[in-house]
Amino acid sequence: MWSFERQVNYYETDRMGVVHHSNYLRYLEEARYIWMEEMGLPYPEFERQGVIIPCTTAEESFLGFLRYGDVFSVHMELYRFTGLRMYFRYQVYNEMTGELCLEAETVHYTTTREDYKPTSIKRSHPQLFEKISELVSDTREQK
């Protein structure tokens, strides 16, 4: 699993100093964008090619919490890619305590700005399809 670390900012917390639940989705999104960049698939390149990847499903299980100043890590993997849908899995850890704070999955689909309807990129953008396919963590799950 790929991962990155950062510290919780004050503005991400509620009045009790605990990270507001809505910010965990932002952490997952931040992890995806950084991962894409590091894997040679920067999101602006998708947009230049006319492809966007909106999220259709987000499932989160809160197991603990983060507070202002905590250092946390997001571990993630792309575990399935169909040419139409991308499936990601995540774990968020408090690096100071080792506590697993969140387990999550998101599903995204590929589309174009013209109609926003799900569109497979296997034929329309074969090079992009191949690059993404190579990043799937377990190709046995790829369909």
- Nearest-angstrom CA–CA distance, 89 and 97: 22
Whole-prediction pTM value?
0.91
From the candidates 14, 70, 115, 138, give the one annotated as an active-site residue.
Answer: 14
Distances (CA, A) of 10 to 14, 64, 93, 98, 132: 9, 18, 18, 21, 35
Is pLDDT above 80 for 46?
yes
Mean pLDDT of 7-25: 96
pLDDT at 85: 96
- Nearest-angstrom CA–CA distance, 36 and 27: 14
Torsion on CA atoms 120, 126, 131, 132, rounded to nearest 10: 10
Instruction: For 118-141, write each residue's pLDDT tens digit.
Output: 999 998 899 999 999 999 986 444
Domains and CATH numbers, the chain: 2-141 (3.10.129.10)
Is pLDDT above 90 for 112?
no
Instruction: For 75-103, write each residue's pLDDT tens digit.
Output: 999 999 999 999 999 999 999 999 999 99
Mean pLDDT of 39-43: 93
Q: What is the mean pLDDT of the chain?
A: 93
- Nearest-angstrom CA–CA distance, 14 and 18: 6
Whether 115 is catalytic: no
Tell which residue, 85, 74, 68, has the closest CA to residue 122: 85
